[in-house]
Structure 1
């Protein structure tokens, strides 16, 4: 995105891999819920994430130890001008789909149009920014851009490339259990919805000798078993049914790993530090609903949320709280008043920004006791400012209408259910009795895609190279367009402008200022009740599963497990 790639054109392997890692063995993961589709690129149905990660490739590939840089994968080269008004990709002659047929320019063009027309919303924004796409040679394709967006060459380089012939006479947008054919290292070997899916390494994979791939994709088999809830997954791990378990509870990490397989050394506990932003994990307010349109109501419910007590109860108080979307990284807006370039970017939107964006906003800190009396008092005062008072033990407006809302949760989300139970008890002391709705994964997917909820868990992972995906997360088109990540219904002129500024910045300092200003606008908007994040990954795994000594800056994230792991007796 800026400057030069860190690796020379003749690099041997990516820095975060073991280029001599042996091939073979298997790794088994546990998942909650299930799936009813094997097409992860459309809005309809719920597909296992591994289909996209393991069976389909892109023109360019990420280097997870080097934010904002891509290297050639299906494309052997990429050409663009200084202003990035276009990009041209030249395909590798050796690139092949899993059935041995060549990856062609026709497949690239068809994939671009089909994903843009019938694919999930995350593909739509970039499609609309392309004026035309044309074949320029036997193995070359050129995209000309309709708008200024310096990230577009990278975004298009990460578009999945699918086989056009597979879909002749068929509806790409229809959910089904035939996986899209890709060119990746694995194929779907077997599957049964609700029970398991197995990926088998393709021995004839065209890309196995590329320097970019050296040391990656080492397991012969990757399997995902599905369970009813997270506790069942953990019990299956203890029994050795699954071989790797990513622990999300710091308290359980400290206390629950005293079973025999740990004591014998058959299971190893690995902590993987990282330097990525915290992202957002919390309870989202759906501001499309009248009950949450007033920022004072949202702030009141944030004040009533006793984070310190909940964190102590569930995590032993060891996890830090998410202060903002980009906290834990240099891209965070930071505490205190906005200054310098960040302030200059936000000032034109001062009238539309909620309090705190310019002055500084910090989440409330409680005394850690269950009562949280100070927080409840502040919450009641804010509700009164917004026109809600406690009448006969209930929070009501002037017309006597009770203040209530529904918290939508997926079945199996045991930890979030524990959070909500403690929170509901606190709200009861304010005369608020939220309804908790537990629905199966399919219903949850359908309802959140249609924004049919008042409050629900919201998780957005952000990177050190934010770009076009930010519109999918909090762009105003997601207020009405179904299936985006903008669950709160964020509609902010400042947010839109900061995303525009990010995408047109040519200098790293300008880019960082735009992201920091975006972070402040999102934080002051009070669109969610932030929970905690882990500043390290915690993976318990079979001792025969190994990973390299050099860890990427992203740590335990995408591209790490199982991609760079291997099996060794």
Structure 2
């Protein structure tokens, strides 16, 4: 598997912040940074982020491949398909994030941040030297316009935070204060991470309808300098970038050129890498990594295979079931679909059994649930909702294990028992629902899915469903139609991935909050509407101790996992990146590993010859 779609969805996680734990201290004075709890790890006079190399040379280029196409260069609105990297490479916010701390921000466009002791408001002061790529200064008017416009007309990911802003007011020539209407400790940090655009550029334009005709002007080190619709986008480092001397930016934005080439499918992309048309590629299939990366350039040392570990949660990747469809509204049917999914056989076929399965949404981290009965604070948080929790939430839930054989008879027997309990019957080899109608559903896949083996996984899954008497139609549609349908929740089952961080917060409402279930464009594809889920998210947002935060996240993990909304596949405990030998990254790896702002932000080009 390539990681393009995973990183695209993980990219949405750019709004998902982290937690730096420690005792909370009240302060209301300008500071260089802010942590969710306690103090930032870096002092005011820090020289660089700990995982960046301030001695890295400038120059060179990175060329990466993407599967699919694009028809817009504006990542801030719902319309269009946009290269996911643009939101992070070509825009800046008031604060910047350190990926070596679970949830700490340092001043970027803002020289300081000030918060109330109860975090009911936060105030930022702009750096006097902050400027857009066209050389014009960033003003408080630009900041306030960006927040209000994105909060009211922008992509749905911006709307939730803006709805919790009671007021926004200019408090000085370069200062702006946000007062919140909700008790939510994360807001003081979240509000500092919105992209800042140039107001004057949009005075006579409708930002919601922009696509390829207008490239938004921003402040980042890179600007879009060339593109061909659906084919490539090229970014160039701005030699006059305003923030090149900031400590936060030392060792970052080292490459002169970042180019994204688009291909029809993952195999074509891989062949392009072997041919030298692109010079860096992520690989998510361990079997492919071991068996297909032995071409001449690797053997000669011209191409290097790098493995980069991380300590972040697995997130959830697999096949999501839409509970808006009456078929999947019953947990027993969803469990039957999981039982019928022969993971052990599929994993052996696809990866040689090298990749372990995702066991919960926050597995592989300290925030993950245990599979034993809930205890202590976790049980206490869940107890008020005990009567309506999915079976296994309190008692303990573990994904089924097959015997590794192709037929998976044990799993199919369990699946059929569950369907029978739910009122389904078999008549002449066909499964009928409680009303006597034949059972059928659609699996929706994009034709341009970067995960070349997703279609193969579906093919391996179909025989089990057929043996159950279920008729399944696999629909492959182009990326634009896939986006439209998933944004409208117009599917039964589809491939789904949500990256999660060590810092779950407000984004959890967009992922699986009840309000998001009926909001087109939200990431709550499964349609979760659970008072327990909402309550656990609220507790995460208002916790004032590490213990409560961790317990609430583990409790949330239990409700989601026992909800059986997704058929999980394998997890990735490290990133596998093959690249030309001239591309380098620092020895010090942040706790998030190869996350959104690692490749290519802290990479550099150096000819070892």
Give TM-score scaled by structure 2 length. 0.93
Residue 399 of structure 1 and its aligned partner are, at CA, apart by: 3.7
In the alignment, which residue of structure 1 is the partner of 2:582? 544
1:186 equivalenced with 2:214 (yes/no): no
| CA distance in 2 between partners of 1:458 and 1:334 (Å) | 23
Structure 1 residue corresponding to 2:137, chosen from 85, 95, 102: 102
Residue 146 of structure 1 and its aligned partner are, at CA, apart by: 0.6
In the alignment, which residue of structure 2 is the partner of 1:34? 69
In the alignment, which residue of structure 1 is the partner of 2:573? 535
C-alpha root-mean-square deviation of aligned residues, in Å?
Answer: 0.8
- Partner-residue secondary structure (3-state), 1:223: strand
In the alignment, which residue of structure 2 is the partner of 1:202? 238
Residue 398 of structure 1 and its aligned partner are, at CA, apart by: 4.2
Residue 2 of structure 1 and its aligned partner are, at CA, apart by: 0.7
Residue 170 of structure 1 and its aligned partner are, at CA, apart by: 1.4
1:314 equivalenced with 2:357 (yes/no): no
1:156 equivalenced with 2:228 (yes/no): no
Query: CA, structure 1 residues 399+511, in 2 after alignment: closer, same or farther (shift >3 Å)?
Result: closer
In the alignment, which residue of structure 2 is the partner of 1:374? 410
In the alignment, which residue of structure 2 is the partner of 1:386? 422
Structure 1 residue corresponding to 2:595, chosen from 542, 550, 557: 557
| CA distance in 2 between partners of 1:563 and 1:316 (Å) | 33
In the alignment, which residue of structure 1 is the partner of 2:211? 176
Maintained 8 Å contact 1:476/1:496: yes
In the alignment, which residue of structure 2 is the partner of 1:218? 254
| Mapping 1:216-295, distance limit 5 Å | 216-295=252-331
| CA distance in 2 between partners of 1:416 and 1:276 (Å) | 23
In the alignment, which residue of structure 2 is the partner of 1:568? 606
- Partner-residue secondary structure (3-state), 2:388: coil
1:488 equivalenced with 2:523 (yes/no): no
- Partner-residue secondary structure (3-state), 1:351: helix
1:417 equivalenced with 2:452 (yes/no): no
| CA distance in 2 between partners of 1:289 and 1:179 (Å) | 39
Residue 63 of structure 1 and its aligned partner are, at CA, apart by: 0.3
1:138 equivalenced with 2:158 (yes/no): no
Maintained 8 Å contact 1:424/1:433: no
In the alignment, which residue of structure 2 is the partner of 1:61? 96
Residue 397 of structure 1 and its aligned partner are, at CA, apart by: 2.3
| CA distance in 1 between partners of 2:316 and 2:361 (Å) | 5
Residue 6 of structure 1 and its aligned partner are, at CA, apart by: 0.7
- Partner-residue secondary structure (3-state), 1:484: coil
- Partner-residue secondary structure (3-state), 2:158: helix
Residue 474 of structure 1 and its aligned partner are, at CA, apart by: 0.5
| CA distance in 2 between partners of 1:272 and 1:397 (Å) | 48
Residue 50 of structure 1 and its aligned partner are, at CA, apart by: 2.4
Structure 2 residue corresponding to 1:339, chosen from 345, 356, 375: 375
In the alignment, which residue of structure 1 is the partner of 2:27? none
| Mapping 1:392-411, distance limit 5 Å | 392-411=428-447
Structure 1 residue corresponding to 2:200, chosen from 160, 165, 170: 165
Q: Say which is worse superposed, 295-304 or 408-417, in terms of deviation.
A: 408-417
Maintained 8 Å contact 1:51/1:179: no
Give TM-score scaled by structure 1 length. 0.99
Maintained 8 Å contact 1:300/1:378: yes
- Partner-residue secondary structure (3-state), 2:217: coil
Residue 400 of structure 1 and its aligned partner are, at CA, apart by: 2.7
For these two proteins, the number of residue pairs brought into alignment is 569
| CA distance in 2 between partners of 1:466 and 1:127 (Å) | 18
Structure 2 residue corresponding to 1:463, chosen from 496, 501, 509: 501
Q: Which runs of 4+ in 1 moved over 6 A?
A: none
Deviations 1:35-75 (A, max 9, x none): 00111011110111222111110000010011100100000
- Partner-residue secondary structure (3-state), 2:524: coil
Residue 194 of structure 1 and its aligned partner are, at CA, apart by: 1.2
Deviations 1:168-208 (A, max 9, x none): 02111113112211100000010111110000000000001
In the alignment, which residue of structure 2 is the partner of 1:523? 561
Maintained 8 Å contact 1:151/1:468: yes
| CA distance in 1 between partners of 2:144 and 2:569 (Å) | 42
| CA distance in 1 between partners of 2:448 and 2:354 (Å) | 24
| CA distance in 1 between partners of 2:395 and 2:314 (Å) | 22
- Partner-residue secondary structure (3-state), 1:131: strand
| CA distance in 2 between partners of 1:512 and 1:397 (Å) | 41
- Partner-residue secondary structure (3-state), 1:212: helix
In the alignment, which residue of structure 2 is the partner of 1:440? 478
- Partner-residue secondary structure (3-state), 2:170: strand
Query: CA, structure 1 residues 142+260, in 2 after alignment: closer, same or farther (shift >3 Å)?
Result: same
Deviations 1:310-359 (A, max 9, x none): 01100111111111110000001111111000000000001111101111
In the alignment, which residue of structure 1 is the partner of 2:5? none
In the alignment, which residue of structure 1 is the partner of 2:11? none
- Partner-residue secondary structure (3-state), 1:42: coil
5+ long unaligned stretches in structure 1:
none
| CA distance in 2 between partners of 1:552 and 1:23 (Å) | 22
1:5 equivalenced with 2:43 (yes/no): no
| CA distance in 1 between partners of 2:120 and 2:101 (Å) | 24
Query: CA, structure 1 residues 431+15, in 2 after alignment: closer, same or farther (shift >3 Å)?
Result: same
Deviations 1:257-298 (A, max 9, x none): 111111111100000011000000010000011111000000
- Partner-residue secondary structure (3-state), 1:87: strand
